[in-house]
Structure 1
Amino acid sequence: MKKFWKWKNQTVINQKTLEEVQERTLFLNGTIAEDSWFDDDVTPKLFQSELISGEGDITVWINSPGGDCVAAAQIYNMLMDYKGNVTIKIDGIAASAASVIAMAGTKVFMSPVSMLMIHNPATMAWGDSAEMKKAISMLDEVKESIINAYEIKTRMNRVKLSHLMDSETWMDAHKAVELGFADDILHRETNEIVEDLTPTSNMMFSQVAVTNSLMDKIAHHCKIDKPKPQIQQEQINSKSTKADSLMSRLNLIKNWR
């Protein structure tokens, strides 16, 4: 069975008590439920049994583009229910369903070069209009459940969270800390006094906003201006022939005959 998680256990010395303690580290890499999560009788139980097989605080490293939201919900619940502290460290990307798992951390840290992304849930559906309506209703409910996790962590307004998901929002580490999705940024421990390098502006990228901006620019450059009514009338007048002129020409034709 291929698993998208890996445990690493080792004994370390507590610098305060000088006692040996068991350090447990969990690595979540790749797509959530990539191969085996759908074996629902085995995989969730296997993950839970490995999670509760030890005691003490755990560190969870996340580098995942997301995946199955049900699998993510189960991992989130297991980590939330865990008796020890759960420290989340995002070293690459925590996108989509993986961002939900990250919200289970007692503390959430992000690498200064990592990204966090949230968006609306998606699915595939087949059938008549009634089945499509059921799928839409289901997605709406799933979105509300995901917002629950974001709201608990960030304390942000649900409407704003919904808008961020609608826009498929990407955040760098500083923006994630600013909005409450993360608590701090990972850095090398040192005794030296360093200058505060917090940027004056943080990065937040919206896929929808970029697409709309691009379409507006294309529409602007491809726009064909319609002639003004006044110009059209002048062109018509310049090409038209007056009735008196026509009568004059007719009289000339009659006299010629």
Structure 2
Amino acid sequence: MAEVSWFDDDITPKLFKDELMSENGNITVWINSPGGDCVAAAQIYNMLKDYEGEVTIKVDGIAASAGSVIAMAGDKVVMSPVAMMMIHNPSTQAFGEKVDLEKAIAMLDEVKESIINAYEIKTGQSRTKISHMMDAETWMDAYAAKDLGFIDEIIGDIDENVPVGQNTFSEAVVNNSLMSAIAKKCRIEVPEPKKQEVNNTIAADSLMSRLNLMKNWRN
């Protein structure tokens, strides 16, 4: 999603509003988005929250970054058991003097707080916990997302007893675990090969054979 559409599959707030206003009654919004502009996402989020009918959000592929923010606008949010949701910190590009970079950092802090608002309203999780999840760039499958309150139902509702503790994926945690494993691997001591007894004795017959070969070669 973006403020301006550069490609055929870009969804801008204006395009979304035109289609949304053409409907009436209850609606279902399908999301399969890797994210995009956080301001555009905020506009779409507000449109859905202001919509008079009931809004059902269905995540059938991925709702990542700004896409996950839009998903929080649903009165009911459902997710495919094979879909993924990801939340992380906002990012931007900045250049200039120190004061310019400081302004960019302050802006990102405020944007993060606004994003946390959407997650907090939907999930009921603490702002601190949500902030830590964003810092770690957290990926969730449907069961983890439901357990944490990001969604309400799982499409098909396959198994309510699936353990959710292992279904969140933090890029930072995985990277740290991988580096730790590599470091441990590098510290493994390779056992020295067993020393073999050296036999310096040569049988007389073998020695004579070698001497004869050398003599014949010289001749």
Global fold match (TM > 0.5): yes
- Which structure has more RCO (C-alpha within 8 Å, separation ≥ 6)? 2
Distance in 1 separating the partners of 2:127 and 2:3: 30
The corresponding residue for 2:194 is none
The letter of the residue matching 1:112 is P
Distance in 2 separating the partners of 1:101 and 1:129: 34
- State the identity %: 66
1:138 aligns with 2:107: yes
1:219 aligns with 2:188: no
Q: Which of 153, 163, 171 is matched with 1:200 structurally?
A: 163
1:71 aligns with 2:40: yes
Distance in 2 separating the partners of 1:205 and 1:55: 38
Q: Which of 80, 83, 87 is matched with 2:52 structurally?
A: 83
Shift of 1:55: 1.1
Within-5 A mapping of 1:153-232: 153-187=122-156, 196=159, 198-202=161-165, 203-222=167-186
The letter of the residue matching 2:22 is S
The corresponding residue for 1:238 is none
The letter of the residue matching 2:76 is K
Specify every segment of 5 or more residues in structure 2 that has no aligned partner in the other structure, as ranges.
Answer: 7-11, 190-219
Distance in 1 separating the partners of 2:5 and 2:41: 13
Which of the two has greater strand per residue? 1
Distance in 1 separating the partners of 2:90 and 2:68: 12
The letter of the residue matching 1:213 is S
Task: Tell me the TM-score normalised to structure 2 length.
Answer: 0.78
Equivalent pair of 2:94/2:100 in contact (CA under 8 Å): yes
Shift of 1:52: 1.7
Distance in 2 separating the partners of 1:126 and 1:141: 19
Equivalent pair of 1:34/1:67 in contact (CA under 8 Å): no
Equivalent pair of 1:86/1:105 in contact (CA under 8 Å): yes
The corresponding residue for 2:199 is none
Shift of 1:35: 5.3
The letter of the residue matching 2:17 is Q
SS at match of 2:31: strand
Distance in 1 separating the partners of 2:46 and 2:14: 13
Equivalent pair of 2:3/2:40 in contact (CA under 8 Å): no
Cα offsets for 1:118-151 (capped at 9, x unmatched): 0000111111211111111111100000000000
Equivalent pair of 1:112/1:186 in contact (CA under 8 Å): yes
- Count the aligned residue pairs: 183
Specify every segment of 5 or more residues in structure 1 that has no aligned partner in the other structure, as ranges.
Answer: 1-31, 38-42, 189-194, 226-257
Task: Tell me the TM-score normalised to structure 1 length.
Answer: 0.67
Structure 1 pair 122/112, CA: closer, same or farther in 2 (3 Å)? Answer: same
Distance in 2 separating the partners of 1:196 and 1:208: 29
